[in-house]
Amino acid sequence: MTRAPHQILIIEDEPVIREVLRVLLVREAYRVIEAPTAARAQIEARNHKPDLLIVDLGLPDGDGLDLIRRIRAWSSIPIVVLSARTLEEQKIAALDAGADDFVTKPFSAPELLARVRAGLRRGARAPSGDAPLGFGAVQVDLAVRRTHGAHAEIHLTPVEYRVLESLARRGGMVVPQRVLLREVWGPDRGQDTRGLRVFISSLRAKIEPDPRRPRYLVTETGIGYRLCPDDAADAATAGPSLER
Ligand code: CA
């Protein structure tokens, strides 16, 4: 398989972790640029216009969150945060600052690569004409709003389609609850996470082989959800990392 040589900027002050990331990404045929500081990162990002950033939040010359806000002021490049900060509030703060997704240290290689692929897909995503989403035996065609199971058509409600659309637009990246609520119901329903959970359960009952152990519509506890439809590349290498 040939892959366009995407360029990834690694912003990480720890040389050992930078090296691990570089080896991992180069092995997947990505081109890699490295920056050990926030200041260097801004220069490299402007000079090289990479396709994706991997950002460590704890940098010697500033907080990664500030760096993300600064880059977001001029660029919509996909940003994956790599951080030892495990608290939900800190992940939400990173998403609020403009990050697209996060990986928690210590990270697994398949998980990191899956996040990178999702980020690159988000960066390249066409606004319309997407292929149907596959969830095992279930196929969802968002363009015409039809869903088929192994033997028969499955009825999804308009709200369920809107939830799937909002998740699918992020191509496998985490979508915070409040973003889903705003996109599906508008700005007035911002706090109704209980209502959202009801729709998520009913969707899982329709698309998941085992709704009690979801593998396609995955919960990120305290943060939101991500949609992981079948994908030849992801299915081969990233399956285990999605089952946390
Ligand atoms: Ca660090």
pLDDT of residue 237: 41
What whole-number distance in Å separates Cα of residue 186 and Cα of residue 215? 28
Phi then psi for 201, rounded to 5 degrees?
-60, -40
Distance from Cα 218 to the centre of ligand 1, integer Å:
28
Instruction: Locate the DSSP E strands across 78-228.
Output: 79-83, 101-104, 133-135, 138-141, 146-148, 153-154, 175-176, 217-220, 224-227
pLDDT of residue 15: 97
Distance from Cα 37 to the centre of ligand 1, integer Å:
9
Distance from Cα 225 to the centre of ligand 1, integer Å:
27
What whole-number distance in Å separates Cα of residue 31 and Cα of residue 157? 43
Distance from Cα 106 to the centre of ligand 1, integer Å:
12
Task: Tell me the domains of the chain and their CATH numbers.
Answer: 7-124 (3.40.50.2300), 133-235 (1.10.10.10)
H/E stretch holding 97: helix 88-97
Per-residue pLDDT tens listing for the chain (244 residues): 555 689 999 999 999 999 999 999 999 999 999 999 999 999 999 999 999 999 999 999 988 999 999 998 888 899 999 988 777 888 888 888 889 898 988 899 999 999 999 888 877 754 444 678 999 999 999 988 899 998 999 999 888 998 999 998 888 889 999 889 988 887 776 677 888 898 899 999 999 999 999 999 999 988 999 999 886 444 434 434 333 3
